[in-house]
Structure 1
Amino acid sequence: MLETYKSKFFEVLLLSTCVKILLIPAYHSTDFEVHRNWLAIAHSLPLNRWYYDDTNEWTLDYPPLFAYFEWLLAKVAQFVDPEMLQLHNSNYVSKRTKYFQRFSVIIMDVVYACGAWRMLKAFRTLHIRYQPITAEALLLLNVGLLFIDHIHFQYNGFLFGVLLLSISCLLEDRFLLGCTVFATLLNLKHIYLYMAPAFGVYLLKFYCLDSKRSTFTSVLKLTIAGLVPFAISFGPFWQHLPQILSRLFPFRRGLTHSYWAPNFWALYNTADKVVAKALNMSIAEKYTSGIVQNYEHSVLPSVRPLATFILTIAAMLPILIKLLCYTTKSESKITFLRSVVLCSLSSFLFGWHVHEKAILMSLIPFCFLFFVHAQDAKYAFLLSAAGYYSLFPLLFDSDLIVIRYSLYLAYMTFMDAQMLRFYKTPPIMNLWEDLYIDGFVLLPLYDHYTVALVFYTFLCVITCTP
């Protein structure tokens, strides 16, 4: 049984790798230049200048451990194309550079594969019936990671691999190792701080407050386990901490990103604009200008970082209270998984300057809840349909229309089919949910065909009219 399981996993992994290789020639975003510039910074400058360099707008704004990762990549890159490591060589894209950076993402996905493998192994200890091939496909062929990492260009798969490793450790009751791995993740990308409340509450209740252990000793061990990665990461920069923190938490970038994430603040901005227009007031265009900066709203109260923080914590509290006060040992691990999903989703809905890509922080862990209960599967499907579709504007190149819709529809069709196949009594969508899902099929048809058809018909009528 185990050998069959292994062979299926590696077959799916091989298939996903082939798909990623096929996507190498595709369009890439400005994030490609961002990471090329970080390679140049790490290679060209002494360590104490990394977080001060402002040669161009793509300044280093990830934690030091990720900067060390870029430094290691640069050691290899210098043998591939030294020109990519020139600090003033902005927007440099050679064939060698493109292949190097694309393959670096594919190779680092080995970490994601390891995380998925360990997580699936840990998941089996929960005695939950699930289909390995389905879980492997949902994870290794995840359409969001294909969009963001292998077309748009980032290293999210690598980071999610570390996340899955940390969760798997906690599911296997390896608390100290899980804490260390999660702390390592925070030093690679600090956005995962939004998941920290779920990890913190779980470790507090089931490790520190465990009656079989000394609370003081447990807290001390856990503190040391969590601080070691921070000491290694930030130690060489201890004299530059204020500068690093200003880069990691740039509150001057404004409430929303240039392309709004589909969250509460997108609705808030829209409501402000609609009300201002209805009242014939001048509209503050800054938040629709595509420029990343602070701005004031026209009618509704302007939002500050503290307000978003309070709302985010308030949204997290119900699941955290349940995890701390109302969860038994037998159900704790599933509740922990739900708390990871809900904490990240709370931050996506109410956080400050949220990027649209952050929805993956909820969708990747949600893949495991797909097998827990029919209602979990239903909500995973609904959120996936909306979340992956919301990434389309990042793939705006016209050559990607067929690719993005093909990958999206294939993934969602597979997910829907497996949901209906796995549950003897499939979760029933109500009328509004059915219409909501249908909208993701009808909207592209309207966007790409109906509008064009009306336009060209109108153009023909005008040109043919004497």
Structure 2
Amino acid sequence: MPRPALAGSRHLLENSAHWLHTDSPASSRQVSPTLSPRRRFPSLPRSPTQSATKFPTTLSSLHEAENAGAPPQEKEAEHAMARRWIRWMHKRGVKAWVVPSALLAATCIKLSISLGSYSGRGTPPMFGDYEAQRHWMELTIHLPIRRWYTYDLQYWGLDYPPLTAYVSWLCGVIGHWLDPSWVALDNSRGIETESSKIFMRSTNFALMTLLFQPALLLIDFGHFQYNSVMLGFALLAINFFAWEQDLAGAICFVLSLGFKQMALYYAPAIGGYLLAKCLYLGVLNGGKLFLRLALVTSLSFIVLFLPFLPPRIFPFARGLFEDKVANFWCASNVVFKWKVWASSAFLIKLSAVLTAVGFLPNVLVFLRIAWQTQLSQGAKAPSHTPILPLLPYALLTSSMSFFLFSFQVHEKTILLPLLPITLLLSGAPMDSTIFGWGVLANNVAVFSMWPLLKRDGLGVQYIALLILWNRLLGYNPLRLPSRSFVQLLSLAVYAAGLGLHVLELLMLPPARYPDLFAVLNVLISTPVFVLVWLWSIKCGVEMSWAVGGLGNAVSRPHRSSLVGDDEKPVSAGKARSVSSIGSAQGRRRAPFVDGEEKPNVDSVQS
């Protein structure tokens, strides 16, 4: 009996494979050239007159000329301002400046955000997150390493893993060289001079992963955080896994975890992926990989954590939650007062159980596929595992489970689920459900942080970045599949969010319920995050059917995804070639000939 919806699952796998811009295991055809995700070009020869056509000199005229006679779907795709700008840069012969220009624009935006206020400004005795980051620089350059995690814990005690401490030390050394008063031990507490703030803002530019993502920009450059470093290491780990460099990927993930313990949100997915790969490779090769991973991971942890053991990095003393966060605990607390009816010890255990139940489905999917494929193929199994396209869904499921159900969640931890869903979003067609879910999750994530951003005085930056990011993507919920669930949900959520903002602007909350607007924000945002979590599980299960079917097909004598169009087996090197996120995108784009994109006929689907 055929598996249900196998054809649809294969289609999902083909679309999802573009998060790495790789060849999908579901097809022997190459990925279509993507200046924009999944852009299709007609495989028609260009006439001599077309080659001689002069190019428009403005973006608007170029846009009109390009879309003359184009199919409706292609016209809609050109609503993405970023895509139009990239095409214009290519056609003007300055494509080498695309990345530098984007970096420069992102830097200008970050500096603009930094002109705003921040929580705790001029508010003794703690002075907010700005003072926390500055204080860690102060103590790491003046105290011996053994005292970093024990010095005056009541005043912004260092409670992040060692890599954060090392970065604070490095920034502190530079700051002390520039002006010792910025980091004078104890005497600099509460310092808020303009020069010290400029220095603090400028130390936050390392390892940017998602240049214009509103949530990351607002938290790191408005709220004084360094999440981009943690996410950057996580992204490097994913990239190394895609290149089959599993040991380097494991080291990068340890570095991510060594910077902030929130990277644990990814641990079940990454651990499940690596364990499944060891299982897939069999007893001999898989056993060797397992031992190497265990050795490299252990040594990395020892090097990072040995000088600080045991570090104080898990805030169990703070209780189940502090501020109003759009997760299960805070939303359900409106009806059931958890802190009244349950002890802290019981809530820690319950949150651990719910979190584990939340991330287990996609981890088990990894193991099932690996075991099933190993049984069906044995020693003939290719060294490149077929489970890589499932990794972003597993990362999304795992991180969203932690955000929804784990103990002591902060608003900013929504950044972790946003990384994998933004990877999926970046390679999805604009009219697909993946694109719709990805943009919805990002927009609601920024909305869910509004109470925090309001306290920081970042209202203007909040509105401007949301508009800019959606405009760059060319996003419009009305262009999603008509009357689809994700379209209707998006319209309802945006209407509710806009209504709440208008209500908050026109009236004050009643004295009896001072947190009314924050609670309403939670009640709007939490259902969306729950649905994103369920959607990621659904996609993982559907893709497992497709990958499982492909694994069985490979062991059969007839043509499979590892056989080329000429019916000859693809070489081992080609079968293993999984490209990195950045470099593959550049290699797989259609070449520009005379300023026009030349279609790759082999990649155009019939």
| Aligned match of 2:359 | 316
Alignment deviations for residues 158-182 of structure 1 (CA, whole Å, 9 cap, x no partner): 2211111111111121111111111
| Aligned match of 1:280 | none
**Aligned letter for 1:438?**
A
Partner SS, residue 297 of structure 1: helix
The correspondence of residues 259-270 of structure 1 with structure 2, limited to 5 A, is 259-270=323-334
Residue of 72, 93, 106 corresponding to 1:16: 106
Q: Distance in 2 between matches of 1:78 and 1:99?
A: 14
Q: Distance in 2 between matches of 1:32 and 1:164?
A: 26
Q: Distance in 2 between matches of 1:402 and 1:434?
A: 23
**Aligned letter for 1:251?**
F
Residue of 156, 160, 170 corresponding to 2:231: 160
How many residues in Structure 1 have an aligned counterpart in Structure 2? Answer: 395
Kept in 2: contact 1:378–1:427 (CA 8 A): no
CA separation of 1:213 and 1:420: change in aligned 2, threshold 3 A:
farther
Shift of 1:425: 8.2
Greater relative contact order, per chain length (Cα 8 Å cut-off, separation 6+) = 2
| Aligned match of 1:367 | 422
Kept in 2: contact 1:337–1:369 (CA 8 A): yes
| Aligned match of 1:388 | 446
Alignment deviations for residues 352-374 of structure 1 (CA, whole Å, 9 cap, x no partner): 00011000101122112113472
The correspondence of residues 323-402 of structure 1 with structure 2, limited to 5 A, is 323-326=366-369, 332-370=387-425, 371-372=427-428, 374-397=432-455, 400-402=458-460
RMSD of aligned Cα (Å): 2.8
Alignment deviations for residues 6-47 of structure 1 (CA, whole Å, 9 cap, x no partner): 532322221111111222221123111001110011011111
Partner SS, residue 141 of structure 1: coil
Q: Distance in 2 between matches of 1:147 and 1:369?
A: 22
TM-score by length of 1: 0.78
The correspondence of residues 175-194 of structure 1 with structure 2, limited to 5 A, is 175-194=246-265
Kept in 2: contact 1:33–1:90 (CA 8 A): yes
Q: Distance in 2 between matches of 1:432 and 1:46?
A: 54
Partner SS, residue 259 of structure 2: coil
Kept in 1: contact 2:215–2:446 (CA 8 A): yes
Q: Distance in 2 between matches of 1:172 and 1:420?
A: 38
Q: Distance in 1 between matches of 2:238 and 2:363?
A: 16
The correspondence of residues 3-82 of structure 1 with structure 2, limited to 5 A, is 7-29=97-119, 30-54=128-152, 56-82=154-180
Kept in 1: contact 2:222–2:458 (CA 8 A): no
Shift of 1:57: 2.2
Q: Distance in 2 between matches of 1:8 and 1:427?
A: 35
Shift of 1:428: 5.8
TM-score by length of 2: 0.61
Partner SS, residue 359 of structure 1: helix
Q: Distance in 2 between matches of 1:332 and 1:378?
A: 24
The correspondence of residues 133-144 of structure 1 with structure 2, limited to 5 A, is 139-144=210-215
CA separation of 1:446 and 1:21: change in aligned 2, threshold 3 A:
same
Alignment deviations for residues 243-293 of structure 1 (CA, whole Å, 9 cap, x no partner): x1xx11231110002x121100012221125xxxxxxxxxxxxxxxxxxxx
CA separation of 1:265 and 1:184: change in aligned 2, threshold 3 A:
same
| Aligned match of 2:194 | 95
**Aligned letter for 2:320?**
L
Shift of 1:414: 4.2
Higher Rg of the two aligned structures = 2
Kept in 1: contact 2:117–2:456 (CA 8 A): no
Kept in 2: contact 1:50–1:60 (CA 8 A): yes
Alignment deviations for residues 386-441 of structure 1 (CA, whole Å, 9 cap, x no partner): 211111122225853233222223324544627877x8989664544421122222
Unaligned segments of structure 1, at least 5 residues: 117-138, 274-295, 455-466
Alignment deviations for residues 116-171 of structure 1 (CA, whole Å, 9 cap, x no partner): 4xxxxxxxxxxxxxxxxxxxxxx211101121011111111122111111111111
The correspondence of residues 208-247 of structure 1 with structure 2, limited to 5 A, is 209-211=280-282, 213-237=284-308, 241-242=309-310, 244=311, 247=312
Partner SS, residue 105 of structure 1: coil
Kept in 2: contact 1:420–1:426 (CA 8 A): no
Unaligned segments of structure 2, at least 5 residues: 1-32, 36-88, 120-127, 374-383, 511-606
Q: Distance in 1 between matches of 2:273 and 2:466?
A: 34
The correspondence of residues 435-454 of structure 1 with structure 2, limited to 5 A, is 435-448=492-505, 450-451=506-507
CA separation of 1:419 and 1:219: change in aligned 2, threshold 3 A:
farther
Partner SS, residue 164 of structure 1: helix
CA separation of 1:14 and 1:169: change in aligned 2, threshold 3 A:
same
CA separation of 1:184 and 1:397: change in aligned 2, threshold 3 A:
closer
**Aligned letter for 1:363?**
L
Kept in 2: contact 1:377–1:419 (CA 8 A): no
Shift of 1:340: 0.6
**Aligned letter for 1:436?**
V
CA separation of 1:426 and 1:44: change in aligned 2, threshold 3 A:
farther
Shift of 1:442: 2.3
**Aligned letter for 1:400?**
L
**Aligned letter for 1:64?**
P
CA separation of 1:301 and 1:413: change in aligned 2, threshold 3 A:
farther
Q: Distance in 2 between matches of 1:428 and 1:270?
A: 27
Shift of 1:56: 4.4
Greater CA drift, 336-345 or 260-269: 260-269
Partner SS, residue 255 of structure 2: helix
| Aligned match of 2:467 | 409
Q: Distance in 2 between matches of 1:66 and 1:331?
A: 35
CA separation of 1:234 and 1:427: change in aligned 2, threshold 3 A:
same
Q: Distance in 2 between matches of 1:369 and 1:398?
A: 30
**Aligned letter for 1:381?**
V
Residue of 273, 282, 288 corresponding to 1:202: 273
| Percentage of matched positions with identical amino acids | 29
Greater CA drift, 349-358 or 323-332: 323-332
**Aligned letter for 1:252?**
A
CA separation of 1:419 and 1:166: change in aligned 2, threshold 3 A:
farther
Partner SS, residue 149 of structure 2: coil
Partner SS, residue 193 of structure 1: helix
Partner SS, residue 252 of structure 1: helix
Q: Distance in 2 between matches of 1:339 and 1:51?
A: 33
